[in-house]
Amino acid sequence: MRSNPVKQALKAGQTVVGSEISRLRSPDIARMYARAGFDFVFIDMEHSAYSMESVADLITASRSRGIVPIVRVPQADYSLVSRVLDQGAMGIMVPRVNTPEQVRDIISWMRYPPDGARSFSATMGQTDFDETSIQALMESNNQQTLCAIQIERKEALEELDEIMSFPGVDVACLGFTDLSIDLGIPGQIDHPRMTAITERAIHLAQKHNVAAGAIGLDINNLEHWARKGMRFISYSNEVQLLQDAASTAAQRLKAAAKKQ
């Protein structure tokens, strides 16, 4: 069965980088991300209009090009997690994880008995049409599926040490914007309070051998925290990357034309 190079890299203490897909439905985006050199593609179901069919197509395209598909489900819910995994997602990200009890449930939903509560189905999305046994598929998925949780509420900060301590958590990802809103400093991701929280999250992640992570549009901010020890970095999204490149090209060409 397919291994998960992102999970393996994080376990080895390395840093992984990727980008989000949240609007365009073309599987070619995932293929282009792979060509660009990203380690993972972050497929967002929380803030997008994607159907499960669209997500399944993006997952399949990602797997075909060797880039790890990680799907953010809209909320902590067994039916959402299990369906996405059955389509071949190699990692799950869950938003607004606030308590140790939520972490325990999420990990259980991602694993087969006796370690968890996931229902079995040998879907083509998981097997890539290869022959396998029930036992081999169970063991592979239990070992290779990446679990990422998002810390986005001040409630979670109170139990962050215990939340990160659960075996099975691979990534603890700070939701900078939502967390700043909940703290009453909306959008001020460089606020001293946010800086202190981020530094503490990195420290606890290192203590529990979990990768601290961040999702953002500000590459300078992400570079800063990568140097400080964040190891799971998701930069921008397909719309913003296209818009930025198009704007830069248009401005340069228009400026060149004016110089004639």
- Domain containing 247 — which CATH number? 3.20.20.60
At 14-70, the pLDDT tens digits run: 999 999 999 999 999 999 999 999 999 999 999 999 999 999 999 999 999 999 999
Give residue 30's pLDDT.
97
Report the number of distinct structural domains present in the chain: 1
pTM of structure: 0.96
| Burial call 129-157: b when 16+ CB within 10 Å, e when fewer | eeeeeeeebbebbeebbbbbbbbbbeebb
Amino acid in the structure at residue 79: S
Structure tokens at 36: 């660009």
Stretch 203-228: mean pLDDT, rounded? Answer: 96
Q: Copy the structure tokens of residue 187.
A: 């959008």
Tell me how crowded residue 162 is: count the other CB atoms within 10 A of its CB.
13
Structural domain for 86, as ranges: 5-258
- The Cα 171–Cα 16 span in angstroms is 11
**Average pLDDT of the residues in 235-259:** 95
Angle value at C-alpha 219, between 92 and 65, nearest 5 degrees: 45
| Secondary structure of residue 12 in the 3-state scheme | coil
Confidence at residue 206, expressed as pLDDT on a 0 to 100 scale: 97
